[in-house]
Amino acid sequence: MKQVFEAVKLTERVYWVGAIDWNVRDFHGYSTNRGTTYNAYLVLADRVTLIDTVKAPFREELVARISSVIDPGKIEYIVSNHSEMDHSGCLPEMIELIEPRKVFASTMGVEALADHFHDGLDVAEVKDGDRIDLGDMTITVLETRMLHWPDSMVSYLEEERLLFSQDGFGMHLASSERFDDELPLPLLEHEAKKYYANILLPFSRQVLKVLDRLAEAKLEFEIIAPDHGPIWRKSQGRILELYREWAEQKREKKAVIVYDTMWGSTEKMARAIADGLTSGGASVKVMKLRAAHRSDIATEILDAGALVVGSPTINNNIFPTVADILVYLKGLKPAGLIGAAFGSYGWSGESVKQIEELLGGMKVEIAGEALRTKYVPDKEMLETCRSSGLAIAKKLS
Ligand code: FEO
């Protein structure tokens, strides 16, 4: 292993020593169709420090990358910014291997690590604003509770003006390139948006507070080094700007139509509504639930103004895939959406009312008429669907 994996230099004394997971396609329900990385960093201060570790199966890759720079036994400190197992999975084994003088985590991180590993890890607590003296370098810790776990914190390496931002500003993207300026910016913006929409959206208020705090502290970031995906050394300003936009949930004249269908009737309605929306000047995404993953739908909704949901009625209920997406989106707590429901049925036809109730539970303002078709929509019904799309587009203006 030592001969295969090498560390990547960020600055004269900071190295990336993480792992690339080319093949992961499902990250606890999030579709990672481009894989991911688990980033860990080595700081060659007087007291050599490891920032985070990697998911357990990638421990050998981490050890090999560290070994390409320094004997792992020389590491004195480990800082655990986040205890989710993609970053702490091999922490106990790394502690056993390295025998560091100290392991640091936030107050909640100490608890979370104990609850994960149950083996009496000796972890020292650091609080918001605490400074960790590395001898000739200093780390300042900023707690970022609920971004996106209670334990989450970030570490600022003052001498290098480098922010180790754990999940924040990250993305699921496996690549041989380690830095943002080596990859196309639109790709990075898309994957960062997907990450925000699926992981951080429910905590947008806390994101705004952290952004304000970082701005007030007038910290300048030469580098933002997240725990997933490329390291920002060129477009740091852009990702900070995008985070503010996403956290403010700025919405465009855009609608997302999400639906499933059994014999194509609900689909015909979806297409007619989409045409009306387009005629009204809205940008539209039509996403059939058995063709689009829930995490891609959430990504499209991040900047959309309207969510239009269609389902046939099956056994007095909405279609199971429609239930899935609505439960998922409810948990993400998107704010400021308008919406509408539509669907076909054979005899009982409960689905549209059920969708409206679920949208209401998500605080989506119902802005279009409930559209129900018995069996197959006729021309008149499709005209009505189209008009409804037009009306929703007008409300989006
Ligand atoms: Fe990448 Fe919240 O773990």
Helices 320-332 & 294-301 angle (0-180, nearest 10): 50
Residue 6 has pLDDT above 70, yes or no: yes
Q: Distance between CA 111 and CA 114 in Å, rounded? A: 5
293 is catalytic: no
- pLDDT, tens only, 331-371: 999 999 999 999 999 999 999 999 999 999 999 999 989 99
- Under the banding of pLDDT at 50, 70 and 90, the label for residue 217 is confident
- Is the Cβ–Cβ distance between 341 and 309 less than 8 Å? yes
Cβ-based burial of 320 (10 A; exposed 0-12, middle 13-18, buried ≥19)? exposed
pLDDT score recorded for residue 3: 60
84 lines ligand 1 (CB under 6 A): yes
Residues 94-149: tens digit of each pLDDT: 999 999 999 999 999 999 999 999 988 899 999 999 999 999 999 999 999 999 99
1 pLDDT above the threshold of 80: no
Q: Is the pLDDT of residue 306 over 90?
A: yes
Measure 225 CA to ligand 1 centroid, in angstroms.
14
Given 52, 148, 196, 227, the catalytic residue:
148
Q: Are 234 and 180 in contact (CB under 8 A)?
A: yes
Name the closest-CA residue to atom 1, ligand 1. Answer: 167
Quick check: is 84 catalytic? yes
Please report the pLDDT score of residue 308 as a whole number. Answer: 98
Q: Which two tokens stand for residue 379?
A: 């021309």
254 CB within 6 A, ligand 1: no
Residue-wise pLDDT tens digits, 281-301: 999 999 999 999 999 999 999
**248 pLDDT more than 60:** yes
- Catalytic residue (one of 195, 243, 259, 345): 195
Task: Please tell me the distance between residue 57's alpha carbon and the centre of ligand 1 in angstroms.
Answer: 16
This prediction's pTM? 0.97
Containing 50, the helix (H) or strand (E) segment is strand 49-51
pLDDT number for residue 397 = 82
Q: 106 pairs with which residues across the strands?
A: 126
| Cβ atoms < 10 Å from Cβ of 239 | 23
Average pLDDT, the chain: 97
Cis peptide before 148 (omega within 30 of 0): yes
52 ligand 1 Cβ < 6 A:
no
